Amino acid sequence: MTHEEARAAYSRQLDGALDKPGQELLNTHLAECGECREYCKTLDWSAGALGRLRAVPPVPEELLAKVKESVSAVPAARSRSFWSIPVLVLASAAFVVLVIRNAPPERPQPAPGQAPAPSVAPEQKPPPLKPAPAPAPAPVPSYNDIFSIEHALRTAPPPERQLVFRGAGKEDQLAAALSNAGLKDIALTDEIFATLKSRHKRLAKIEALKTAGKVSEGDEGLLNASAALPEEETRLMQAENSGRAALISLYAARLAGKTGGSAEELIPGVKKEFAAALQKAGR
């Protein structure tokens, strides 16, 4: 543990947010480092001093009247129904899941030298007398398959990648990119594609922030700011995190559609896999 890490860990400990292994590492460091022990005392002092500002004077008597007067000057804002937006959001989410569930299964790839399978049966078959057996469940994709969409796009040759991100020949080019990366069972919804595309646009700026040490990868697939950032960089980080959070939710919904589980329950696992995929890719 470095001095900087020990001091940051002590700051977490002040808030009761340091886990047991972290505490053990911190204690080991502090036992040997007088400089850090002194520093930590100053953090204690800072926390104590700030806590003394908690006292708040009573609400001024005339404040409520003043506020009412100010608000009365603002025109009334009529709106959509209180529940209309959540309902729309839920309906959209349900639609995404339905689209994913109903996505056509991938056709088997022909062996080298073999003619591709026809897309339409050559002759009409009579309807079955008995109900057709339930189709075998689609193989459940691993998290890594799902997260490899990004990997495939990023590792595709530049001309191909540019075509994909310009939206030209999206499906073909993407299929080629995924095939090059040896991936199967990857379906891309428009929503996921749009999010990936906007992330791609800000990639260089995010990389620059990371190189400058201003942000770092957290363990939940999101970026953490290492210090206060200028407003523009804060917005950039928030946009990136918002894109990542959207991807995580969409991936979880897609996976839930495949497995019949709950997207909400899958999200923590998806976050971890997302973080691991980013770290593995060095991004």
* Nearest distance, CB of residue 247 and other proteins, angstroms: 15
Chosen residue from 25, 138, 220, 283 binding other proteins by CB under 8 A: 220
Chosen residue from 79, 102, 124, 211 binding other proteins by CB under 8 A: 79
Whose Cβ is closer to other proteins: residue 54's or residue 107's?
A: 54
Whose Cβ is closer to other proteins: residue 68's or residue 107's?
A: 68
Does position 20 bind other proteins by CB under 8 A?
Answer: no
Q: CA 157 to CA 161: how far, in whole Å?
A: 6
Does position 49 bind other proteins by CB under 8 A?
Answer: yes
Q: How many CB atoms lie within 10 A of CB 164?
A: 26
Whose Cβ is closer to other proteins: residue 160's or residue 220's?
A: 220
Torsion of CA 177, 148, 247, 164, to 10 degrees: -10
Report how far Cα 25 is from the mean position of its chain's Cα atoms: 30
**Helix-strand-coil split of the chain, %, nearest 5:** 60, 0, 35
- Structural contact between residues 141 and 254, judged by C-beta atoms closer than 8 angstroms: no
Whose Cβ is closer to other proteins: residue 72's or residue 114's?
A: 72
- Structural contact between residues 155 and 147, judged by C-beta atoms closer than 8 angstroms: no
* Nearest distance, CB of residue 8 and other proteins, angstroms: 5
Does position 98 bind other proteins by CB under 8 A?
Answer: no
Does position 198 bind other proteins by CB under 8 A?
Answer: no
Q: CA 243 to CA 193: how far, in whole Å?
A: 11
Give the x-and-dash track for 124-163 against other proteins (CB under 8 A): ----------------------------------------
- Structural contact between residues 240 and 199, judged by C-beta atoms closer than 8 angstroms: yes
Does position 234 bind other proteins by CB under 8 A?
Answer: yes
- Structural contact between residues 247 and 196, judged by C-beta atoms closer than 8 angstroms: yes
- Structural contact between residues 152 and 196, judged by C-beta atoms closer than 8 angstroms: no
Count of residues touching other proteins (by CB under 8 A): 61
- Structural contact between residues 237 and 209, judged by C-beta atoms closer than 8 angstroms: yes
User: Interface residues with other proteins (CB under 8 A)?
Assistant: 7-8, 11-12, 14-15, 17, 42-43, 45-47, 49-57, 59-60, 63-64, 66-68, 70-83, 85-86, 216, 218-220, 222-229, 231, 234, 237-238, 241
